[in-house]
Amino acid sequence: MTIKKIAVLTSGGDSQGMNAAVRAVVRSGLYYGLEVYGIQRGYQGLLNDDIFSMDLRSVGDIIQRGGTVLQSARCKEFMTPEGQQKGADILRKRGIDGLVVIGGDGSYHGANKLSKLGINTMALPGTIDNDISFTDFTIGFDTSVSIVVDAINKLRDTMSSHERSSIVEVMGRHCGDIALYAGLASGAETIIVPEVPFDMDEIAERMKQNFAHGKRHSIVVVAEGAGNGENVAKQLVERCETLEPRVTVLGHIQRGGTPTPADRNLASRLGDFAVRMLIAGESAKACGIISNELVLTDIDKVVNSKKEFNMELYELAARLSQ
Ligand SMILES: Nc1ncnc2c1ncn2[C@@H]1O[C@H](COP(=O)(O)OP(=O)(O)OP(=O)(O)O)[C@@H](O)[C@H]1O
Ligand SMILES: O=P(O)(O)OC[C@H]1O[C@](O)(CO)[C@@H](O)[C@@H]1O
Ligand SMILES: [Mg+2]
């Protein structure tokens, strides 16, 4: 089948670089002679038939912008078989024969359902969480980690002056990658993630010992999926009242701001790849990057496997933070 019309949407939590990905899909699509449509507000916009034609100028001046010009949403109706059927019918009625979904694991599930209903679908990893398997990195993760590292640099200054401990809660509902990569890059003493069991007695004891041996401030990074910062601070004080922890919840700051060059380039490569693969007749695939090579994997396989946690990096961070 020759592809003529494609559409693109962004879904789930936004991520820095989604705009660069949308730009790449639109410009590559037009370059290869396709008609390209944008769907506003993710699957919600699809169900509302909120679909519009895009041209070269629709994606001008957005490569450097965080957020998503297509806007994003979490859509309950699309979780139902009836909602998914309605979405497929709308795409078919409009003659759209290829869909690019940019989003996280939940959005991938939605794309998988649409592909099972006969829609040619490509999924791009757009989430700060880095929780998608068959790709080393997701679009937005690098920017998010940079934001966390920048914040920890600042926290370190004041923690050092006052000889305190900083508890930094970062995003990652079920995935500790932001905590891991930001923790390693900022020399955090402790990294608490959902993938690795932790012992608060042991953490408090190590902090106490460190303090006694001259390391008089420390950084503890907690992924939200492993607990909340306030709770961690409370448990530490219960075990050692001299620790003086201060909690910072970085929250949605991690999802905003200009994407790093790494995220823009990843998004540009993946967006263009998705279009070329649709034209080549591929469908029901997830686009990713492994060892700097673009790779295509069945979406079904991706949504049914959990991303492997990088224990090597976790152990490295522990070795270097003594
Ligand atoms: N199992 C599913 N079947 C169909 N659609 C789904 C499914 N799970 C999620 N979706 C759709 O995808 C949307 C986005 O999913 P979710 O809220 O999990 O965010 P995400 O894409 O994982 O992004 P992030 O985790 O980065 O915020 C949901 O609101 C829903 O419309
Ligand atoms: O406030 P929202 O938009 O529901 O998003 C919060 C969640 O989305 C993510 O940031 C991913 O985008 C998670 O890490 C976080 O738990
Ligand atoms: Mg998700």
Ligand found nearest the CA of 253: 2
Domain boundaries, the chain: 5-140+259-303, 144-255
The answer to whether the complex's ipTM is over 0.90 is yes
**Ligand 2: residues whose CB is within 6 Å?**
13, 127-129, 171-173, 224, 255
CA of 130 to the centre of ligand 3 (A): 9
Q: Which residues, by Cβ under 5 Å, contact ligand 3, an ion?
A: 104-106
CA of 79 to the centre of ligand 3 (A): 14
Q: What is the pLDDT of residue 25?
A: 98
Residue whose token pair is 């946690």: 309
Does 206 appear as a known binding residue? no
pLDDT in tens, the chain (322 residues): 799 999 999 999 999 999 999 999 999 999 999 999 999 999 999 999 999 999 999 999 999 999 999 999 999 999 999 999 999 999 999 999 999 999 999 999 999 999 999 999 999 999 999 999 999 999 999 999 999 999 999 999 999 999 999 999 999 989 999 999 999 999 999 999 999 999 999 999 999 898 888 888 899 999 999 999 999 999 999 998 888 899 999 999 999 999 999 999 999 999 999 999 999 999 999 999 999 999 999 999 999 999 999 999 999 999 999 8
Edge-to-edge strand list for the sheet holding 245-249 = 190-192, 218-223, 165-170, 245-249
Does 276 appear as a known binding residue? no
Most informative mutation of 16, 77, 78 for ligand 1 (most atoms within 8 A of CB): 78
Number of the ligand 2 atom closest to the C-alpha atom of 172: 14
Most informative mutation of 145, 175, 255, 263 for ligand 2 (most atoms within 8 A of CB): 255
C-alpha–C-alpha distance, residues 181 and 310, integer Å: 10
Q: What is the pLDDT of residue 241?
A: 84
Q: What is the pLDDT of residue 216?
A: 84
CA of 240 to the centre of ligand 3 (A): 36
Does 225 appear as a known binding residue? no
Residue minimizing CA distance to atom 3 of ligand 2: 13
Q: What is the pLDDT of residue 1?
A: 74
Does 106 appear as a known binding residue? yes
Number of the ligand 1 atom closest to the C-alpha atom of 127: 26
CATH class of 5-140+259-303: alpha beta
Enter the pTM of the model.
0.97
Task: Name the DSSP letter for residue 257.
Answer: S
Most informative mutation of 14, 46, 77, 107 for ligand 1 (most atoms within 8 A of CB): 107
Ligand 1 near 71 CB (within 6 A): no
Q: What is the pLDDT of residue 310?
A: 98
Same fold, 5-140+259-303 and 144-255: yes
Q: What is the pLDDT of residue 214?
A: 87
Q: What is the pLDDT of residue 59?
A: 98
C-alpha–C-alpha distance, residues 321 and 117, integer Å: 50
In this structure, are strands 285-290 and 293-298 parallel, antiparallel, or unpaired? antiparallel
The DSSP H or E segment spanning 36 is strand 35-39
Which neighbouring-strand residues pair with 98?
6
Residue among 255, 259, 254, 235 at smallest CA distance from 245:
235
Fold observed for domain 144-255? Rossmann fold (3.40.50)
